[in-house]
Amino acid sequence: MKFTWDKRKNKANIKKHKVSFEQAVLVFNDEMLWDQYDTRHSVNEDRHILIGNAAGRILYVAATETAPDTTRIISARPAKNGKRRIIMAMVTYTLETVPKPTKEDWERLDSIKDEDIDCSDMPEVTDFSGFHLWKDRDLYRPVKVPVNCKLDADVVAWLKKTGKGYQTRMNAILREAMLHSL
């Protein structure tokens, strides 16, 4: 798998979040990497929210697949303390090969205050129900198929009233309903 990113965005990300995109790509080595399709920010491209262990740091990464074997890193930051403990505990107790965190690991994680983590460029994840574990190591990208269907005019008007991306919004609504029914 290849990774790309904007050099200026990487510099800005290091300054803002103290995480480089070179560090962010390490989450893709995490066998327990969590991936959720980002319906909120997938208007012009399919974006994913990833949470994983990168050399002992639990990171929250936004990425998009630009080609079948190429992923572009959009942003990365440390996961907030509550998310770090949830994910770290899951990784520790689910994957036998990951060593238990040491006291120093917890102290290092706890030394970063939630209010010191700038989340302005990434959505806060409050619902983990849509997350799934990576199985094939590729970003989940649904295959799009053209469909002709008849919808009520008021429904189409409602979808279009917020502007560009109404088909993506319609797909997100249908996907949410589908996942809720499973």
Q: Which tokens go with 73?
A: 């890193």
Helix (H, G, I), strand (E, B) or coil at 74: strand
Question: pLDDT tens digits for 53-103?
Answer: 887 788 989 998 888 888 999 999 988 765 545 554 444 334 455 566 678
Measured distance CA(151)–CA(130) in Å, rounded: 27
Whether the pTM exceeds 0.85: the reply is no
The answer to whether the beta carbons of residues 78 and 18 sit under 8 Å apart is yes
Bridge partners of residue 70, in order along the sequence: 2, 67
pLDDT value at residue 93: 39
pLDDT value at residue 9: 92
pLDDT value at residue 141: 59
| Positions in the chain whose pLDDT score sits under 50 | 84, 88-95
pLDDT value at residue 134: 54
pLDDT value at residue 98: 53
